[in-house]
Amino acid sequence: MSAPEVHQLATGIPITCHAFNKDRTQVAVSPNNNDVEIYQKNRAGGWDLLHTLAKHDKLVTSIDWAPNTNRLVTCSQDRNAYVWDWDAKLGRWEASLCLLRINRAATFVKWSPKENKFAVASGARLISVCYFEVENNWWVAKHIKKPIRSTVTSVDWHPDNILLAAGSTDMKARVFSAYVKGVDAQIPAPVWGEKLPFNTVCGEFSSASGAWVHSVAFSPSGNYVAFASHDSTVAIANGPNNPVVTIPTGGLPLVSIIFTSETSIVGVGHDCTPYLLAERNGQWEVVGKLDQGQKKAAAASSAFKMFQQMDSRAQQSAPKVELNTTHQNTITCVRPHTGASDSVSKFSTSGVDGKLVIWDLLSSGLAGLKI
């Protein structure tokens, strides 16, 4: 596998989330604080800080960048969401507040495929589906509430722009209708239902051991929904009436997943390395880790030997240990980078170590997998 592109955007500061613009020349990141930083790619292949968006009062939890309208949406623990539009005359980003009407932190935000709506997950046991009301010239929100019983951690849109998948800490992943009258055309979803008024529950699923859900993702066709749970499994559902397929990863929990094709998934999390899962011969399985360990461990060969040395030298603190992975701490976010939704060739990750990494999926070389 060719070495991934590694960019140290924040030294010693975690990156909570990131999102690229359409042509991948700019990236927006949240460096674990109230601001959003936008970086421009330079001629040397590095990144230069271009803008700082400062409106939120608390930690920015999620960012999404609409590729066609070139709008950013951000949400925060301050219970607010802002839509950012680029003003070419003023040479700056202008923010529009969206009243989410929630009393707990916003946790995740995602534009719909047509970019005329976005969904905000929250700790208020609901999802705010936001759209622009032309008559009043502002963004308004409708709430998906029942039967959510706890914090919503992640959302993802179906390609039809109507259905919405959500994962939460009440141990469930669900598929809802987010149809907004006057905004959406009525389109039946053969797999998930024919009549889809707002807040219809089209499917409800749980992991094998009933763990809370970290991340959800629709497949490119929208026929499958996958969700990663805290029991270190990824589950895949094909409609509300078919059995859920559960894939144990054998590692630490994944916190963010994406489909890279109709039959492959990339997941990242506490193991500090991306996992590739795929359907082969009709069975879903973990193909392997995409990080082949380009680095060598800089510390002692074993934890026991390291503590022996500390004891003999009367050291008070452990020496710095370098992991045998590209990321040196939990990976918090994974995004498609290059390719269509059903044939992603590159993806990007960011993590607690302050790194932004771009991975070439086609050069992974895992068992000759066609992706």
Domain spans, the chain: 5-291+330-363, 296-325
**pLDDT value at residue 363:** 74
Evaluate if residue 270 carries a pLDDT over 60.
Answer: yes
Consecutive H or E run containing 165 = strand 163-168
370 has pLDDT over 50:
no
With vertex at residue 238, the alpha carbon angle to CA 235 and CA 242, rounded to the nearest 5 degrees, is: 95
- Give the model's confidence band at 300: pLDDT under 50 very low, under 70 low, under 90 confident, else very high: very low
* DSSP annotation of 361: G
362 band by pLDDT with thresholds 50, 70 and 90: confident
The beta-carbon contacts of 335-343 under 8 Å, at least 24 apart in sequence, are: 335/18, 335/19, 335/20, 335/258, 336/258, 336/260, 337/20, 337/24, 338/24, 340/220, 341/159, 341/220, 341/259, 342/220, 342/221, 342/261, 342/262, 343/260, 343/261, 343/371
Are the beta carbons of 7 and 15 closer than 8 angstroms?
Answer: no
Nearest to 261 by CA among 227, 220, 301, 298: 220
The reported pLDDT for the residue numbered 114 is 97
> Residue 50: what are its φ and ψ, rounded to 5°?
-110, -45
Q: Tell me the pLDDT band of 3, cut-offs 50, 70 and 90.
A: confident
pLDDT at residue 285 tops 50: yes
* pLDDT value at residue 367: 42
Confidence of residue 297 (pLDDT cuts 50, 70, 90): very low
Is residue 58 pLDDT above 60, yes or no?
yes
pLDDT at 310: 60
Which pLDDT score is estimated for 320?
64
Instruction: Please report the pLDDT score of residue 295 as a whole number.
Output: 47
* pLDDT mean across residues, the chain: 91
Contact 344, 336 (CB under 8 A): yes
* Environment class of 262 (CB within 10 Å of its CB; exposed 0-12, middle 13-18, buried 19+): middle
pLDDT of residue 1: 56
pLDDT tens string 316-351 = 665 567 889 999 999 999 999 999 999 999 999 999
Query: Which of 19-33, 88-102, 187-201, 287-301 shows the lowest mean pLDDT across its residues?
Result: 287-301
Categorize the per-residue pLDDT at 298 as very low, low, confident or very high, splitting at 50, 70 and 90: very low
With a CB cutoff of 8 Å and minimum separation 6, the contacts of 235 are 173, 205, 207, 208, 226, 227, 229, 244, 245, 246, 247
The pLDDT value recorded for residue 371 is 43
Helix (H) or strand (E) holding 308: helix 303-312
**Cα–Cα distance, 84 to 325 (Å, whole number):** 35
Average pLDDT over residues 122-132: 98
Which two three-digit tokens encode residue 342? 């059903």
Q: Is 115 left (phi over 0), alpha (psi -120 to 50) or beta?
A: left
Confidence of residue 366 (pLDDT cuts 50, 70, 90): low
Residue pair 228/257 in contact (Cβ under 8 Å)? The answer is: yes
The CA distance from 159 to 346, in Å, is 20
CA distances from 268 to 246, 278, 290, 335 (A): 17, 15, 10, 10
Longest alpha-carbon distance in the chain: 74
% of the chain exceeding 70 in pLDDT = 89
Q: Work out the average pLDDT over 150-168.
A: 97
189 pLDDT above the threshold of 90:
no
pLDDT mean over 284-288: 96
SS3 content of the chain, % helix, strand, coil (to 5): 5, 45, 50
3-state secondary structure of 311: helix
Domain 5-291+330-363 has CATH 2.130.10.10: yes
Mean pLDDT for the stretch of residues 64-87:
98
CA separation for the pair 123, 134 (Å, rounded) = 29
Reported pTM = 0.91
pLDDT at res. 191: 85
pLDDT digit string (tens) for 229-251?
Answer: 999 999 999 999 899 999 999 99
Q: Give pLDDT, residue 136.
A: 85
pLDDT of residue 299: 37
Q: What is the pLDDT of residue 72?
A: 98
